[in-house]
Amino acid sequence: MTKYQHLLLEERVELYSQLKLGVSLRAIAKTLGRTHTSLSRELKRHTKYCRPYKPVLANSRADRWAVRQRYKAPLKNPETLNYVLSKLRLGWSPEIIAGRMKLDKPNLTVSYESIYRWIYSKSWKRHQLWQYLESGHIKRRKKQGRSVASKSKVLNARSIDLRPVEINLRQSVGHWETDLMESSRADPAALSVTVERLTRFVRLKKVSDKTSGNKTQALTKQKIGLPDILWVSVTTDRGRENFGHKIWEDKLGVVVYFCNPYHSWEKGTVENTIKRIRRFIPKGENLSDYSWQYIQKVEGAINNKPMKCLQYLTPYERMAQSRQDLEVEGV
């Protein structure tokens, strides 16, 4: 059976022209290589309430309908729906869910935008799934993200696709992820969050604004007290604050990898760490109001909390263990 394809604008114009000339629907269908029932449905769909058939308007309506169907389709699959629901209830963001699904369920696919639209759709909004989102907004807000590669390209950016497998699999220590945790819209301050992938050891540093100079200075201070062997690579996104990545490489001796545009889930370790920090510094509050002493307490609280992924060691203990292992190996 041949898969049905929607009419093209040219076919709709031809249908309109032939109808004006009084040609029968069956004859038009033969000319267009379509079934007469397809053309009959086309006319019924776009001539309701005694409206005249207008090919351009009909094509525009069909395009809008097709877009809506694409957004609905992925989550009609029960397996996809169950996966998204289960991960959403664990507190995973739609970006993390969409990215992780590629690993867990290679036969399934869904975009994070589809998940957001599904959460806020009329048919599912009554289930209040928005409460599982980090933002917790009842209504979806327009995204206020930072500029990324489409607007401002990072020069000489080394893609995360080039990152060695041993880093991806967390087989060695010294590989970090970094990001800025934003303050309220009225406050220019931010928190530089840098976390080691294997040990989950965290370093925090407040910056007065989100310039690349301040980010570079924050990373330099976050390295203090740690040997060079524990600073091998840094993975980050393509925000403007990371434009000084060449200085990081020269000054800190690290290799810098950049996530692909709009793929924040590729640095999921630091993203999850920021969620944990939000328990101490709620979203929407001014970071400028928090002292560096308080920031240090937050850092200590996170580094001294046992984690299941570390076999219930704390990040501090796991980092100390890694340093000891390196000393034994004579590195």
pLDDT at 269: 96
Distance of CA 223 to the CA centre of its chain: 28
Distance CA 208, CA 204 (A): 13
pLDDT at 55: 86
User: Could you say which residues of the chain have pLDDT below 70?
Assistant: 1-4, 49, 67-74, 122-126, 130, 134-152, 330-331
- pTM score, whole prediction: 0.57
Domain 160-329 architecture: 2-Layer Sandwich (3.30)
DSSP 3-state assignment of 12? helix
Structure tokens at 141: 């807000």
Structure tokens at 23: 């040609």
pLDDT at 248: 93
Gyration radius (Cα) of the chain, Å:
27
Distance CA 331, CA 325 (A): 9
By the 10 Å C-beta count (0-12 exposed, 13-18 middle, 19+ buried), 262 is classed as: middle
Note the pLDDT tens digit of each residue in 245-277. 999 999 899 999 999 988 888 999 999 999 999
H/E element, 301 = helix 292-303
